[in-house]
Structure 1
């Protein structure tokens, strides 16, 4: 099973990227970041005044209601991307014959709870091992 960046978005700005787009994404564990955001963060981290300003308040404290509402779909898209990635990760584990019991232990839940959460998208629908 190959996990790809196809159809992914930048977890920070929400722009679509990956193969077939001009926006290159890097990252892992569900979160993806585009080059523009990396450059922006690099600029913040390496400029003392900008860094101090960024540390002073959270972005949502400076947003008006319309900006907050406009950002909500991006937050949900990023959350959905991470949920899909978790399913892909479990599919990868199952393709390597990792048992539902082992997956459940890693998640701190029972084998059944892991299976109920992740088997619906998994190609193997059995609750074996």
Structure 2
């Protein structure tokens, strides 16, 4: 099973990126970041004024209710991407014949809880092993 960046979005700005786009994405653990956001973050951490401003305020403090509402779908898209990434990792582990018990232990849940959360999405119907 190949896990790719195709169809992913930047977890910070929400822009689609990856293969077939002009926006390279890098990252892991479900979060992806685009080159533009990396450049913005790099500029911020290397500019004392920008860094002080970033440390003193939270972005949503200066946003209107309409701006916060407009951002909510991007937050949900990023969360859904991270959840899908977890499913891909579980699929990969099952392809490697890692047991549901081992997956459950890694997640701090029972074998049954791991299976209930991930098996239906992955198509893995085997509740044993």
Q: TM-score, normalised by structure 2?
A: 0.98
1:124 Cα offset (Å): 2.1
Q: Deviations over 1:22-68 (max 9, x none)?
A: 11100011000000000000000000110000000110001011100
Q: Structure 1 unaligned runs (5+)?
A: none
Equivalent residues in 2 for 1:1-129, closer than 5 Å: 1-129=1-129
SS of the residue aligned with 1:33?
A: strand
1:128 Cα offset (Å): 1.5
Q: Structure 2 unaligned runs (5+)?
A: none
Q: Separation in 1 of the partners of 2:96 and 2:114?
A: 16
Q: Cα RMSD (Å) of the superposition?
A: 0.6
1:14 Cα offset (Å): 0.0
Q: Deviations over 1:82-116 (max 9, x none)?
A: 00000001001111110000000001100000000
How many aligned residue pairs are there? 129
1:122 Cα offset (Å): 1.3
